[in-house]
Structures are given as structure tokens and as C-alpha cells.
Amino acid sequence: MDCIHFGTGQSQPSALDRKKKSVTIASILVLEPEILILDEPTAGQDFKHYTEMMTFLEQLNQQGVTIFMITHDMHLMLEYTTRTIVISDGEKIADDTPAKVLTDQLLVQKASLKETSLYELALKADWPNPNELVDRFIEVDRKERMTWL
């Protein structure tokens, strides 16, 4: 419970949504699950709360909890996940690293995913392997983020 913050004095609807998500997750964690399935865990959150939630989920994962996230946020997927499963029209069409998924133009089109700005930059710069640029950027970004904590 120490990791889940219940801020006070916030009147915005998103503050109430954050509290509801936190209470829901806390009530499930009491059961000490091995697997946690979350649907859009950061939807509607500002950067501060987005980062707090994802840092908390990373800590849970490091403690051995497997976390499945359903998300349409491609940047969240790139920043915080190591494996991505893409389902389109009820079928699994990809199971790979986030960078490989988001640098596969045919897959992005087939699944109606949004191209990331990193991938667009790699293409504009004629980068020989866009996947390498995306992977390297995310690696550096993750290390940098760890210094913020």
C-alpha cells in the first residue's frame, strides 16, 4: 500500500479515476497474485501519475508478478515493456519486442497501429535498421529514467 498514493485535495475527474484504479489494484494485491492483467493502466493520467503508476508496476514485476497490459499507447509499450503481443480481428498476429513490432510497416498497417516518431525519424534519416535506432533509444531512455527515481 505504501507504493500507491491517495493524493488529497484534488477535484479533477482524473484524480478520482486515479484513486479508483489505485484502490482496485491495491485490493487485488492483497490476494498476492502471480499475474496482474490491467486494461489501459495509465489512461487519463498526467505525466507525474503516469510515471508513478508505471514505476510501481515495474517494481511489482521485479518482485515476480507477471503483468499483462492492454494498451493503445505505443509509447508506453516502447518505454515499459519487453514483449508485445498484437491481436487484430481476434487473432494473434505478432509476438516480439516492442521495437520490432513498431518498426514493421506491414504489421503496423495491418493492426492499425500508430507509427512512432522514433520510427519516422529513422526512416527520414535513412537509418539502415530502424529497429536498432528504436531499441537503442529506448535502452538509453530507460537508463536515464532510472536516475530520476
DSSP state, residue 4: S
Coil/strand/helix, residue 132: helix
Over its C-alpha atoms, the chain yields an Rg (Å, rounded) of: 17
Coil/strand/helix, residue 33: coil
* Residue for grid cell 503483468: 67
Domains of the chain, each with CATH number or no CATH: 1-70 (3.40.50.300), 72-149 (no CATH)
Q: Is the pLDDT of residue 6 over 70?
A: no
Torsion, CA 32, CA 36, CA 40, CA 42, rounded to 10: 40
pLDDT tens per residue, range 62-113: 999 999 999 988 888 988 999 999 999 999 999 999 999 999 989 999 999 8
Q: Is the pLDDT of residue 23 over 90?
A: no
Q: Report pTM.
A: 0.72
1 pLDDT band, cuts 50/70/90, is: very low
* Among 108, 98, 85, CA closest to 138: 98
Per the CB < 8 A criterion, the answer to whether 63 and 95 are in contact is no
